[in-house]
Amino acid sequence: MITGKDEPLNVADTTAELDSPALAGRDRLGPLIITIFGLYARGEHNWLSVASVVQLMADLGVEGQAVRSSISRLKRRGVVRSDRRDGAAGYALAEPTLETLAEGDARIFERRRATAEDGWLVVVFSVPESEREKRHALRTSLTQLGFGTAAPGVWVAPGNLATETRRTLARRGLAEYVDIFSGHHFAYGDLRSKVRAWWDLDELADLYADFVRRHRPELDAGAMTPEQAFQMYVPMLTQWRRLPYSDPGLPLSLLPPGWNGVTAEALFEELNTKLSAPAREHALAVIHGRG
């Protein structure tokens, strides 16, 4: 059984987690469960029965007791809540989780890469020593939004993230500590070199390479059943979900030649087109007792 600690979990951390070796020793089922709820519970009046979640996770090769333990941890962390309907035990996504997933939909499925004309977003913040936890929350939020660190206390991101940044910081109760500016870099130094210093592009390239390595074979798979599509789609989307949060969508003109993020984005789009409908067919059959 995979187990994890019961420390409080930031909802955005959950939606951005990736099933990777870096998460060894933590609950690695939570991200898969959140993917299933995000894909299928919202269209079912924000509810899934425990039995259907256990069955869907069994289709992914996970034992039922481990699933129940992971859901219980998500409940304790405020990500889901218990909700019994028509005598059946089940869970619904908590309101903050629903809000985070709604924001994530746009970033994951509708993201637009920035151009030079979008300019830059600059965030500076000041937090009283008595509220040090807010400082951590701000840094975490800005990192999850894709900001890089230009200097101590100065965070920068492409200008097209302005609306999302303003909305996210306000929703998390952090707006009063922040000033946000927009503009263009006009001097001094080579901006491409600065971008490499502000973001860890090597790590990001490694994440994209791993995604392509794991999932390119699925694109060439032949005819498959809805269940097989589900077994491919949910882990693929769970891995991909972190990448749009790690990558702010920098202009290609500022990235290394042959940036593999473009290849990974194209692969994700093709896999999403290929797998999402049959995967949904299988999931709904299980949810409605036809599987």
Q: What is the pLDDT of residues 196-235, one digit of tens each?
A: 999 999 999 999 999 999 999 999 888 899 999 999 999 9
**Any idea which residue has 């999850």 for tokens?**
144
Per-residue burial over 29-53, b if 16 or more Cβ lie within 10 Å, else e, is: bbbbbbbbbbbbbbebebbbbbebb
Q: What is the pLDDT of residues 237-263, one digit of tens each?
A: 999 998 988 898 999 999 999 999 999
Predicted confidence at residue 229, as pLDDT, reads 97
Whole-number Å distance between alpha carbons of 56 and 62 = 9
Predicted confidence at residue 291, as pLDDT, reads 59
Whole-number Å distance between alpha carbons of 15 and 37 = 11
Predicted confidence at residue 290, as pLDDT, reads 74
Res 79 pLDDT > 90:
yes
CB distance 31 to 97 below 8 Å: no
- What is the pLDDT confidence band of residue 13, given thresholds at 50, 70 and 90? very low
Question: What's the pTM value of the predicted model, to 2 decimals?
Answer: 0.85
Predicted confidence at residue 7, as pLDDT, reads 38
Residue (of 258, 266, 252, 257) closest to 215 by Cα position: 266
Res 20 pLDDT > 80:
no
- Reduced to 3 states (helix: H, G, I; strand: E, B; else coil), residue 188 is coil
Q: Average pLDDT of 80-93?
A: 94
Higher pLDDT, 5 or 255: 255
